[in-house]
Amino acid sequence: MKEDTNFWQRLRRITIKDMMSWTVIPVLMIIVSVLVYNRLLLTIEPGSMEANMLGSYEIGFKRVGDAITEHLRLILVSTSLAIAVAVPAGILITRQGFRDFSGLILGVANVGQSVPSIAILAVFMGILGIGFKTAVFALWLYALLPIVRNTAIGIEEVDPNVIEAATGMGMTSRQILLQIELPLSFPVMFAGMRTAAVINVGTAALGAFIGAGGLGTFIIAGIPLMRDSLILVGAILTAIMAILVDFILGKIQDRLVVPTASA
């Protein structure tokens, strides 16, 4: 009877802990969003410069919604393209015969991290023009390094005994990669994708400098005009988006780690 009681107590503690981990961050972000709406957006005077930039209550602050959509589009496109390029590159530098090129590939991927984003935008604006394409290219370049590095590290950390056993069973190098190395290293790879996505949320705000839209539009417009409401709306909503992206991807990552650990 006592053991049954202890079991239900442990189950209740685990359930409460899980519920807290799933609800605290979203609830806090909802509270902050409500405060932004009530204390910043609803206080904007009709016909003011802020109203022209953010929209009005009558149209539901449509420009804020459009900016959020543009920001998410920049992140999704650039991060997806980075994954499409960086994962094969990370795999390549772990293959026999290509390890000597690892320094070169990582050096190229590191360009985005070592060169300031605003400098990348300025350089490629003259080549690709202003707008969405240049912003996506800069964000893509910025996101390469964490994905390439984590892909290579994840594969390198696979137990050599597992690889040796698979080889002994007659599996080819391709089968070992697809059936053993990638599944076992995927949680580490996903951590790099998560890092890249969160970094891009903040960096995407710079896209407004070249007309790519997004939440950075309000920040860039508010600074020279000394309009605190514009700056705060852009900055706070960007921070909320970064926290929520990190939260959602973190929960996905937790689910990916569980099967690997139990195996």
Residues 6+ apart with CB under 8 A from 131: 210, 211, 212
pLDDT at 13 over 90: no
Please name which of 255, 230, 201, 197 lies closest in space to residue 41, comparing C-alpha atoms: 230
Residues 6+ apart with CB under 8 A from 193: 79, 83, 146, 147, 150, 249
Count the neighbouring beta carbons within 10 Å of the beta carbon of residue 175.
14
Average pLDDT over residues 86-104: 87
| 144, 257, 92, 81: CA torsion to nearest 10 | -30
pLDDT at 222 over 60: yes
Q: Which residue has the higher pLDDT, 17 or 8?
A: 17
Count the neighbouring beta carbons within 10 Å of the beta carbon of residue 150.
24
Count the neighbouring beta carbons within 10 Å of the beta carbon of residue 92.
17
Q: What is the pLDDT of residue 9?
A: 57
Distance CA 151, CA 156 (A): 9
pTM attached to this predicted model: 0.85
Distance CA 107, CA 97 (A): 18
pLDDT at 16 over 90: no
Q: What is the pLDDT of residue 123?
A: 83
pLDDT one-digit tens code per residue, 38-92: 888 888 887 788 888 887 776 678 889 999 999 999 999 999 999 999 999 999 9
